[in-house]
């Protein structure tokens, strides 16, 4: 599929020649071409090649074969292949292989044909044979979507014996591979050939349904089922759908094939480059193409959804979109697209680049305008899988949530508490930022306290609401973290207005902005350094936490606040801050006459904090690894700046993946391991979590499981992903252990057998001995 | 000396009352006052106290005593005391103590007196009794410098028996303490009282001379001598002196006491605050005061030198300046200073704030204008001490040098090679920066290579010169490190000119500047990241190194270039760069037909590099710890921004000292230890150095010795400091080991003795046994 350039001629140019002949003859499909027409086409192709390659197409078949082989090898390093591997995190391969087989032809007439089928529905997961075929056609014609193929069940009407045979093969292959199969076949003069079978790609809903149903059918066990679903792909289940009410009132433009589920709402663009550019500029876009090709991958990745005029459920657009978890409506044949003019016409309506449309990838409907979206409904199979995951996993799963809305979403998705509440997010709200700015501009402690006292009731209310939503589960509150300049205006034009609002001169505001300017704010005056220079901030935040907790307790409900001090690098920083926290706790408990069970802990995000974790553990009841900052400081990569060289680092293979996406286990992970090894002897029951963005990345979660963290904390939509990934980590560990045990058992057995029998042994004796050994080690050995 | 406030009245206000009475009576010295005058003074004092304190000065002696005691306790935490402790790195004390003694009076008439003396000259170190005395005076009068005292040898004329007694006591005390003593005495009605003796403060030259001469006198051994000199204080020996030729032609304004050696050239300021402010603004200043007091410490620290009108060699100004290693001319009695008008008159010349003067602290001369300075001449005693240090130390001492001048200075000071040559410093020169900018603005590799080819001969010349100066000792060359934006103009007004010079549009230059802008440049596109994205830079620099080395070899001289890759965090970064280095090395050696012995290594300055040092050691033949960056990233402190909170951190005791001045051993030091522990098993003979600014800090050097580094590298002027500090570290370690051995020997002996004698033993038997044990362990035991 990737080697679509023959002797310098691109696929689309061959297509133009073909189309021209078809247009002259006013025919629609390839198979309507006569021998004379085909001669014309071949002549056109040859001329094209001569023009581009400067030589004739070779007539020697050996030369043709060699060129074909070289073309495949060459395709390994073209841009599209590289992009494909990057998007799919495929690394470390040496190259591609070439199989050479004699060809069977599906285009030898009406008793020949070709098709692609799945043993179950790859979109929904339904256990029903599913696929497409075309008679008198080659495989390429089905997947390229040039002719719209027939449904596989219709093959029964055309060629019943081939269909029956396919049905038998479907069962055979699935029982053998114990997984859903993607099968390609060709019929040459009524004889069925299976060209290929492989585990079928599927949507996340299909993966979940397959996994759960295969357990119920007894085909696989629950642990295998858990491993069958790519945890990251669950986001396809969790994403929004078009609102049904909105759909009722909306104008349906057309209906295509429901090629990849979910919803997409955005502005139309007509090529991949525009999709990429618009998306980078913050616009949500829908990529509209006659058909997609591998060059479009980057653009598809940048879009909310993909709409194509041609191609079926197994077309390029459909397959790639499902892999990406993007909504896709394919084969929408009444679309007339003018890619050059950047317009499209559909049932009399003319749309231009930038017009808004909405796609429903589960029904194939295309709507005019921007429709509302609704939260996903989590199906029964999903619930079952999550239940198995929860029973299997050892890691807790919490969420990073700063608002009631986030907390509610996360709670619904099964979060077991809040692992990170970034209190500064509460400061940015328009009604509050004024008080924050007053605090920053205060000249004296007294003025600062006055400004802080305005923030106190707001923060208390925020915490009260989070505590309520979390119903007694732990809520980790991180105290103020960002450098203060983030709260002041950056642009000249706002300074006058804001100065007026704050009742200070613009000069004073400007000079404060200048005073707070830092060359490397990431390494500047932030985190606990703020609480140390302005202890009154820590006092206010502590008071807000404990007063909110008191309120909850007085309502007869439970609450476990966990106060977390950010950016700690040295034990004395932590003790400075904890002294304030404990003092305020005592005060509030006395004032409110309640007894609050609370915990204090610290972020481990400064390398120095990690390597002196023994000293921090003496005071901290929990650590939460802030792997974003730990990556920044540990690797010396500014998150805001490093993209330009990190991209090249990944291309060069210096880093396999972006260390801000998936944890750099060798480096940053080593810092975590050092911290744990130092902390555990000092406080064996210390709670260990992670709250960087890595907390929702399956590979990182597996690592966190291995190094013995207590929980991961991630954004609400990643909570189900984390639950599944944590379960997968537990299953994999169990498997590793079992393998290890097995290896050890074999090793021991061999030595015992040698001792008993010397160098030769009768097989029957050996088996008896084997049974004895296995049973003695607590195993079962059936001799049936 | 610090408690100069009595019941709210400052010392200077008492002085004003006294001065007023003296002015009225037109007398100069206190002892000229009559009883009537003194009554007036006392009355004035009492009124002052009543005015300030709102109550009468208490007449009850017990109350007076209690108040005096409290005043001393209270002085512990006044600002001056805190500043003093900070400047002298005094930490961890609980408070001060108060001794109560009955008073002896030196002001009971002409048969009474008081004095301060040193067993040897504290300024030059000469082994000659040295001091000052005043008859009919109290000790405060000598040190405060109000009356200029007589030389100690003149005491013989006034009161020979007291002088003879002092001479005997001088010998007694020095033999007892085996160190130069600072003695205070009072004579009350012809009877000599010694008030105090302590090890005397001395200038660095005096410390060196004392130490060396006491070895020669058999008073101390060489190891003790090495510990006697504060390594940091050596900078007093190494600093510049006024040029003798310049002095001949210069106008001598006046001559005072040579209170602290060295030279000071700068603009006059008349108070400590101005000194501090001007110095912060980059002006070199001379602080001129009638006399200094503890409030002036910060200002003295900010000055190039101190000039006072009153006070002797033991005055506040003299003592403090010697401690600080600042030049000081004291007691320059023909100066008439108007501190309010900020002018001074000296022998008819009127000078204002901002006028330039030059001080010679070794002669007491004060010159008009700015005189040239010359390099110090290192004396014979210094040479001897350094020789002993070199024989004692285990650590190598190299220098950080980027220019021939630096390299020459360091070579003269005994550097054993270059530990860090920052190649980018060679790029900033006016003639070169154009080519650097062309390289940055290049759009293609080809253009970039063209620009680099202009830099090649310059870099080659630089390296050739460093190799020549270092005469075959290792020269460590660090490849390009800073972010490229540092080479482009920052200010709008330069952009047009530079764009014209580079033959590009100002817009292009601006857009490049914007493209290179980083939010956190410290964590940005710099170090080996540059060499990886622009391999042609590494190629050029490698070629320059190897071509320069070839030239040296062809001249029949030796050279050991060591190429150091900066900012390495991951093994694959290092291998990427080393591949280029080795390729170019092979090429150049073939081209030039020479065989160059070279080493390749890496900076350890990214925390990730430290904790994956095992992987780096597989490729690197040496590590150099870049503790500046390692501190920045390890602690998360931006060097440019952190001052504002680090100051408070030090006041709060969170850090004892600025981690950029002296290594944070607990944190950054731990990273170093981890790196060493990981690297050694992989490459046991790996060379380990340090090249951050900490490399010249004695405490850090001791740490480097303990953790087993091979060498330290520091700025040229710190080379002798490092040599001595390294020797001190070795002596201290030997002492620790000896103590450890001794403790072990005693422990073992006790157990052997118990075994033999049970619980009681005759002392003679014990001693015999002891001899046996000691001899059996290879020791000597003299029973004499």
SS3 A709: coil
Q: In this structure, are residues A663 and A694 in contact, taking their beta carbons and an 8 Å threshold?
A: yes
pLDDT(A778) > 70: no
Residue A609 CA to residue B635 CA, distance in Å, equals 8
pLDDT(B85) > 90: no
C-alpha atoms less than 13 angstroms from C-alpha of B242 in its C-beta half-sphere: 31
* pLDDT band with cut points at 50, 70 and 90 for residue A559: very high
CA distance to partner chain A, nearest, from residue B522 (Å): 7
In this complex, the residue of B533, B567, B611 whose CB is nearest that of residue A671 is B611
Contact partners, residue A399, CB within 8 Å, separation at least 6? A406, A407, A410, A413, A415, A417, A418, A419, A713, A714, A715, A716, A719
Percent of chain A with pLDDT over 90: 60
Element spanning B441, H or E: helix B430-441
**Within an 8 Å CB–CB cutoff, is residue B611 touching chain A?**
yes
Residue B31 CA to residue B28 CA, distance in Å, equals 9
Q: In this structure, are residues B504 and B443 in contact, taking their beta carbons and an 8 Å threshold?
A: no
pLDDT(A303) > 60: yes
Q: What's residue B1's pLDDT?
A: 32
Residue A110 CA to residue B377 CA, distance in Å, equals 106
Average pLDDT, chain A: 90
Q: What's residue A608's pLDDT?
A: 98
Residue B275 CA to residue A648 CA, distance in Å, equals 51
Q: In this structure, are residues A319 and A201 in contact, taking their beta carbons and an 8 Å threshold?
A: yes
Q: In this structure, are residues A127 and A168 in contact, taking their beta carbons and an 8 Å threshold?
A: no
With residues binned 3-state (H G I as helix, E B as strand, rest as coil), the percentages for chain A, rounded to 5, are: 50, 15, 30
Residue A374 CA to residue A263 CA, distance in Å, equals 10
Residues 552-581 of B with CB under 8 A from A: 567, 569-570, 572-573, 576
Q: What is the average per-residue pLDDT within A539-544?
A: 97
pLDDT tens digits, one per residue of B492-532: 778 888 899 888 999 899 989 988 988 899 999 999 999 99
Q: What's residue B377's pLDDT?
A: 66
**Within an 8 Å CB–CB cutoff, is residue B770 touching chain A?**
no
Residue A492, Cα to own-chain centre: how many angstroms? 39
Q: What is the average per-residue pLDDT within A251-255?
A: 92
Q: What's residue B173's pLDDT?
A: 96
SS3 A592: helix
* CB contacts, 8 Å: B518 with chain A: 638, 640-641
Residues 671-690 of A with CB under 8 A from B: 671, 674
Residue B528 is a catalytic residue: no
For B690-714, b where at least 16 C-beta lie within 10 A, e where not — what string?
A: bbbbbbbbbbbbbbbbebebbbbbb
**Within an 8 Å CB–CB cutoff, is residue B655 touching chain A?**
yes
In this complex, the residue of B640, B645, B664 whose CB is nearest that of residue A520 is B640
Q: In this structure, are residues A723 and A390 in contact, taking their beta carbons and an 8 Å threshold?
A: yes
Q: Tell me the ipTM for this assembly.
A: 0.78
A607·B633 Cβ contact <8 A: yes
Q: What is the average per-residue pLDDT within A721-729?
A: 97
Both tokens assigned to A531: 């609480």
pLDDT(B695) > 70: yes
Residues 450-469 of B with CB under 8 A from A: none
pLDDT tens digits, one per residue of B405-415: 889 989 999 99
**Within an 8 Å CB–CB cutoff, is residue B492 touching chain A?**
no
B521·A525 Cβ contact <8 A: no
Q: In this structure, are residues A272 and A252 in contact, taking their beta carbons and an 8 Å threshold?
A: no
pLDDT(A178) > 90: yes
In this complex, the residue of B521, B611, B654 whose CB is nearest that of residue A573 is B654
B518·A640 Cβ contact <8 A: yes
What backbone phi and psi angles, to 5 degrees, belong to B147? -105, 140
Q: In this structure, are residues B125 and B205 in contact, taking their beta carbons and an 8 Å threshold?
A: yes
Check A327, A332, A691, A704 and give the catalytic one: A691
* CB contacts, 8 Å: B667 with chain A: 569-570, 608, 611-612
Q: What's residue B144's pLDDT?
A: 63
A612·B569 Cβ contact <8 A: no
Bridge-based pairing of strands A343-346 and A349-352 is antiparallel
A570·B523 Cβ contact <8 A: no
Q: What is the average per-residue pLDDT within B63-88?
A: 82
Residue A691 is a catalytic residue: yes
What value, to the nearest 5°, has the Cα angle with vertex B662 and ends B659 and B666?
A: 65
A521·B520 Cβ contact <8 A: yes
For B573, name the nearest residue in chain A, comparing CA atoms only: A654
* pLDDT band with cut points at 50, 70 and 90 for residue B449: very high
In this complex, the residue of A518, A570, A654 whose CB is nearest that of residue B570 is A654
Helices (H), B201-296: 204-216, 222-228, 235-238, 244-249, 272-280
pLDDT tens digits, one per residue of A744-764: 877 777 787 888 888 788 888
SS3 A96: coil
Closest CA to A215 of A96, A365, A388: A388
In this complex, the residue of A520, A532, A674 whose CB is nearest that of residue B641 is A520
DSSP label of A421: E
Q: What is the average per-residue pLDDT within B300-316?
A: 85
- Mutation target vs A (from B519, B567, B636; most A CBs, 10 A cutoff): B636
Residue B617 CA to residue B245 CA, distance in Å, equals 54
Closest CA to B463 of B485, B478, B449, B445: B478
pLDDT(B61) > 80: yes
**Within an 8 Å CB–CB cutoff, is residue A522 touching chain B?**
yes
Q: In this structure, are residues B181 and B200 in contact, taking their beta carbons and an 8 Å threshold?
A: yes
**Within an 8 Å CB–CB cutoff, is residue B668 touching chain A?**
yes
**Within an 8 Å CB–CB cutoff, is residue A653 touching chain B?**
yes
Bridge-based pairing of strands A396-400 and A373-374 is unpaired
Both tokens assigned to B452: 């680099």
B59 to A520, B11, B67: CA distances (angstroms)? 62, 20, 12
A475 vs B79 pLDDT, higher one:
A475
A611·B644 Cβ contact <8 A: no
Q: In this structure, are residues A385 and A443 in contact, taking their beta carbons and an 8 Å threshold?
A: no
Residues 620-649 of A with CB under 8 A from B: 629, 632-638, 640-642, 644-645, 648-649
**Within an 8 Å CB–CB cutoff, is residue B523 touching chain A?**
yes
Across-strand partners of A366? A254, A359
**Within an 8 Å CB–CB cutoff, is residue A538 touching chain B?**
no
C-alpha atoms less than 13 angstroms from C-alpha of B43 in its C-beta half-sphere: 8
Q: Provide the whole-model pTM.
A: 0.78
Q: What's residue A314's pLDDT?
A: 67
In this complex, the residue of A576, A654, A674 whose CB is nearest that of residue B611 is A674
A640 to A4, A520, B293, B319, B583: CA distances (angstroms)? 38, 11, 51, 52, 34
- Mutation target vs B (from A568, A603, A608; most B CBs, 10 A cutoff): A608
Residue A207 CA to residue A213 CA, distance in Å, equals 10
Q: Which of A287-296, A374-383, B436-445 has the highest mean pLDDT?
A: B436-445
Check B13, B117, B239, B316 and give the catalytic one: B316
* Size (chain A), residues: 784
Closest CA to B717 of B381, B400, B242: B400
Tokens 């801050």 correspond to what residue?
A577
With residues binned 3-state (H G I as helix, E B as strand, rest as coil), the percentages for chain B, rounded to 5, are: 50, 15, 35
Residue B366 CA to residue B360 CA, distance in Å, equals 6
Residue B252 CA to residue B18 CA, distance in Å, equals 34
* pLDDT band with cut points at 50, 70 and 90 for residue B53: confident
Q: In this structure, are residues B57 and B45 in contact, taking their beta carbons and an 8 Å threshold?
A: yes
Residue B679 CA to residue B665 CA, distance in Å, equals 19
Both tokens assigned to A594: 């309640």
CA distance to partner chain A, nearest, from residue B694 (Å): 18
> Counting beta carbons within 10 angstroms of the beta carbon of residue B602, is it exposed (0 to 12), middle (13 to 18) or buried (19 or more)?
buried
pLDDT(A421) > 70: yes
Residue A705 CA to residue B685 CA, distance in Å, equals 38
Check A13, A117, A239, A316 and give the catalytic one: A316
* CB contacts, 8 Å: B655 with chain A: 570, 572
Closest CA to A392 of A711, A717, A729, A698: A729
Residue A358 CA to residue A368 CA, distance in Å, equals 6
DSSP string for A66-85: HHHHHHHHHHTTSHHHHHHH
Beta carbon pairs, A and B, within 8 Å = 173
Bridge-based pairing of strands A327-330 and A257-260 is antiparallel
Residue A623, sorted as left (phi over 0), alpha (psi -120 to 50) or beta, turns out to be beta
Both tokens assigned to A624: 């939460």
pLDDT(A377) > 70: no
Separation of first and last alpha carbons in chain A: 49
Tokens 């910060």 correspond to what residue?
B298
Q: What's residue A603's pLDDT?
A: 97
* CB contacts, 8 Å: A514 with chain B: none
Residue B229 CA to residue B474 CA, distance in Å, equals 29
Q: What's residue B779's pLDDT?
A: 61
* pLDDT band with cut points at 50, 70 and 90 for residue A9: confident
Q: What is the average per-residue pLDDT within A170-176?
A: 95
Torsion of CA A124, A125, A129, A135, to 10 degrees: 50
Element spanning B715, H or E: none
Q: E strands of A580-661, at which residues?
A: 599-604, 622-625
pLDDT tens digits, one per residue of B324-374: 768 999 988 889 999 889 999 998 899 999 999 999 988 899 999 999 987
Average pLDDT, chain B: 90
Residues 266-285 of B with CB under 8 A from A: none
Percent of chain A with pLDDT over 70: 97
Beta strands across the sheet bearing B257-260: B252-255, B365-368, B356-360, B263-269, B285-289, B305-308, B327-330, B257-260
Percent of chain B with pLDDT over 70: 97
DSSP string for A108-147: SSTT-EEEEEESS-TTT--SS-EEEEEES--HHHHHHTSS
Q: What is the average per-residue pLDDT within A188-195?
A: 95
Q: What's residue B608's pLDDT?
A: 98
CA distance to partner chain A, nearest, from residue B250 (Å): 45
Residue B316 CA to residue B320 CA, distance in Å, equals 6
CA distance to partner chain A, nearest, from residue B611 (Å): 7
pLDDT tens digits, one per residue of B573-588: 999 999 999 999 999 9
Instruction: Using only the alpha carbons of chain A, give its radius of gyration.
Output: 32
B95 vs B41 pLDDT, higher one:
B41
* CB contacts, 8 Å: A653 with chain B: 572
CA distance to partner chain B, nearest, from residue A60 (Å): 42
Contact partners, residue B554, CB within 8 Å, separation at least 6? B592, B594
């Amino acid at each position: 599929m990737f080697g679509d350039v023959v002797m310098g001629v691109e696929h689309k140019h061959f297509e133009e020649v073909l189309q021209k002949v078809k247009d002259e003859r006013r025919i629609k499909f390839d198979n309507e071409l006569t021998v004379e027409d085909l001669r014309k086409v071949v002549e056109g192709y040859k001329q094209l090649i001569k023009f581009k390659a400067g030589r004739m197409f070779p007539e020697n078949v050996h030369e043709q074969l060699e060129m074909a082989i070289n073309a495949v090898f060459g395709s390994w390093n073209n841009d599209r292949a590289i992009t494909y591997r990057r998007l799919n995190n495929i690394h470390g391969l040496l190259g591609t292989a070439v199989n050479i087989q004699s060809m069977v032809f599906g285009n030898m007439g009406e008793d020949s044909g070709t098709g692609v089928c799945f043993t179950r529905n790859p979109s929904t997961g339904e256990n029903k044979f599913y696929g497409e075929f075309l008679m008198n056609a080659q495989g390429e014609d089905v997947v390229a979507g040039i002719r719209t193929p027939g449904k596989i069940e219709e093959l029964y009407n055309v060629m019943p014996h081939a269909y029956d045979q396919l049905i038998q093969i479907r069962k055979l292959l699935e029982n053998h591979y114990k997984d859903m199969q993607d099968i390609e076949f060709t019929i040459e003069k009524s004889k069925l050939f299976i060209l290929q079978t492989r585990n079928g790609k599927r949507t996340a809903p299909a993966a979940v349904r397959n996994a759960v149903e295969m357990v119920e059918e007894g085909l696989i066990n629950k642990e295998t089922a858990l491993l069958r679903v790519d945890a990251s792909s669950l986001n396809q289940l969790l994403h929004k759908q078009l609102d049904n009410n909105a759909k009722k009132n909306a104008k349906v433009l057309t209906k295509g094939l429901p090629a990849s589920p979910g919803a997409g709402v955005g502005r139309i663009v007509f090529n991949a480059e525009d999709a990429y550019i618009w998306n980078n500029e913050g616009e949500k876009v829908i990529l509209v193409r006659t058909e997609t090709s591998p060059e479009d991958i980057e653009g598809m990745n940048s879009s909310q959804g993909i709409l194509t005029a041609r191609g079926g459920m197994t077309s390029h657009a459909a397959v790639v979109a499902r892999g990406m978890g993007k909504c896709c409506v394919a084969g929408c044949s009444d679309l007339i697209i003018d890619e050059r003019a950047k317009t499209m016409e559909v049932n009399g309506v003319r749309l231009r680049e930038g017009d808004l449309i909405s796609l429903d990838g589960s029904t194939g409907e295309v709507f005019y305008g921007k429709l509302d979206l609704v939260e996903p409904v989590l199906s029964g199979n999903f619930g079952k899988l999550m239940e198995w995951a929860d029973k299997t996993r050892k890691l807790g799963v919490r969420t990073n949530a700063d608002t009631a809305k986030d907390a509610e979403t996360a709670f619904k998705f099964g979060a077991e508490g809040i692992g990170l509440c970034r209190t500064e997010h509460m400061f940015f709200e328009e009604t509050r930022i004024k008080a924050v700015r007053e605090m920053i501009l205060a000249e004296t402690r007294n003025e600062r306290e006055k400004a802080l006292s305005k923030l106190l009731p707001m923060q208390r209310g925020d915490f009260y609401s989070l505590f309520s939503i979390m119903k007694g589960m732990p809520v980790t509150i991180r105290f103020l973290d960002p450098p203060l300049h983030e709260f002041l205006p950056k642009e000249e034009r706002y300074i006058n207005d804001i100065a007026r609002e704050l009742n200070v001169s613009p000069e004073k505001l400007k000079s404060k902005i200048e005073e707070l300017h830092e060359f490397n704010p990431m390494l500047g005056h932030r985190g606990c350094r703020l609480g140390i220079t302005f202890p009154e901030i820590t006092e206010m935040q502590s008071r807000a936490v404990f007063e909110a907790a008191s309120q909850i307790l007085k309502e007869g409900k439970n609450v476990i606040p966990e106060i977390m001090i950010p950016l700690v690098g040295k034990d004395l920083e932590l003790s400075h801050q904890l002294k304030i926290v404990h003092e305020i706790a005592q005060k509030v408990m006395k004032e409110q006459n309640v007894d609050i069970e609370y915990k204090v802990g610290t972020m481990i995000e400064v390398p120095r904090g990690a390597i002196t974790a023994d000293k921090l553990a003496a005071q901290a009841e929990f650590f939460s690894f802030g792997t974003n900052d730990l990556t920044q400081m540990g690797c010396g990569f500014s998150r805001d700046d490093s993209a330009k060289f990190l991209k090249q680092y990944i291309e060069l293979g210096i880093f396999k993946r972006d260390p801000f996406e998936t944890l750099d286990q060798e480096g940053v992970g080593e810092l975590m391991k050092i911290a744990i090894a130092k902390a555990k002897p000092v406080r064996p029951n210390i709670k260990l979590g992670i709250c960087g963005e890595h907390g929702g990345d399956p590979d990182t979660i597996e690592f966190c499981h291995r190094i013995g963290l207590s929980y991961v904390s991630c954004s609400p939509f990643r909570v189900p992903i984390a639950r599944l990934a944590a379960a997968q980590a537990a299953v994999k560990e169990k498997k590793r252990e079992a393998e290890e045990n097995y290896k050890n058992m074999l090793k021991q057995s061999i030595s015992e057998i040698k001792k008993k029998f010397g160098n030769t042994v009768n097989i029957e004796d050996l088996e008896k001995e084997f049974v004895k050994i296995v049973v003695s080690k607590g195993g079962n050995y059936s001799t049936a």
